Amino acid sequence: MKKYFIYLFVVLMMIFTLVSCQKSEPQQLIIGVLPDVDSIPFIIASEKGYFEDENVNVKIEYFKSPVDRDSALQSDNLDAAISDVLAQAFAHDNGFDIMITSMTNGSYKLLVNKDSNINNIKELKGKDIAISKNTIIEYTTDMMLEQENINPKDINKVIIPKIPTRLEMLQNGKIQAATLPEPLATVAMNNGSKLLNSSNNLNINPGVLIFTSKSINDKTKEIKNMYKAYNRAVDYLKTHDKVDYADILIEKAGFPDLIKDTLILPDYNEAKAPTKKDVEEVVKWLYEKGLISKEFKYEEIVNTTFVR
């Protein structure tokens, strides 16, 4: 009888341990990224094992255009994506239940081809500018033009969604001007492209991380742990030289080899919510252009459960 109880106790302990392990197994988070500096903390967190350390299973999916990224998100193939306020507002307006959970630290630059005789934004009137339509790229471009009292309707917007293609066309002289994210903007500049203006000079930062509401509700713990790993990656980037991780970015994100010499990173911040001003200015721009049906309030599209 004593042996029987010992045996039963061992079996019950094994079952308890098995159930406990199953309960603690984290659900997977799939995050979509583009080839820009916003994605770098996520790549570092993945490659340095920070996600694993924080008990969260994160899979990073790489996209070359915002259109492909948004399609994947809206078809439930992603939990989250590095995106922008514009994409979130479009999705929300079209009935997709997606929320902003934090801002990111991207930078966007308006450039002209090295052989162009254009030297300032005013000279872009009537010229071609390569952008991706209804995205942070177009918004930033419009803000740069309006700062110089140029009506965005007075330039010809050439829609080139894929960022590497936009870079290649600018460098090969197939397009006169283009707005590019970092680090590809710096690659273009090091190949001779001329800088006209930058989002940094405008003091705007509409880049964000967005999650589906389903993921926010079902994977709350995983998202919290993801942000712990993200903040560790930010700390790593602040304390390490780019030579320590440039090869990772080239291999994983498809950044050009040139970034080893040219990469200039933004001043990354630990995860925090976007400001009301940054969100409301973008929403106003979209509404005034007739691209969304109403001016969403900050609370309607931003979830501050995870960061403040």
* Burial (Cβ within 10 Å: 0-12, 13-18, ≥19) of residue 79: buried
pLDDT for 13 equals 52
Q: What is the percentage of the chain residues whose pLDDT exceeds 90? A: 68
pLDDT for 22 equals 46
Is 74 a residue whose pLDDT tops 50?
A: yes
Is 23 a residue whose pLDDT tops 60?
A: no
CA distance 184 to 196: 15
Query: pLDDT tens across 164-183, in order?
Result: 999 999 999 999 999 999 88
Confidence of residue 14 (pLDDT cuts 50, 70, 90): low
Confidence of residue 1 (pLDDT cuts 50, 70, 90): low
pLDDT for 140 equals 93
Query: pLDDT tens across 244-288, in order?
Result: 998 988 888 878 787 777 877 888 999 999 999 889 999 999 999
Confidence of residue 47 (pLDDT cuts 50, 70, 90): very high
Q: What SS3 state is found at 251?
A: helix
* Burial (Cβ within 10 Å: 0-12, 13-18, ≥19) of residue 194: middle
Q: Which pair of structure tokens corresponds to residue 301? A: 């599209």
Q: How many other C-beta atoms lie within 10 A of the C-beta of residue 77?
A: 11
Which is higher by pLDDT, 228 or 202? Answer: 228
pLDDT for 21 equals 44
Is 7 a residue whose pLDDT tops 60?
A: no
Please state, rounded to an integer, the average pLDDT across all residues of the chain. 89
Q: Whose structure tokens read 């990469």?
A: 263
Q: How many other C-beta atoms lie within 10 A of the C-beta of residue 21?
A: 9
Across residues 118-139, what is the average pLDDT?
Answer: 92
Q: Which pair of structure tokens corresponds to residue 95? A: 């009935």
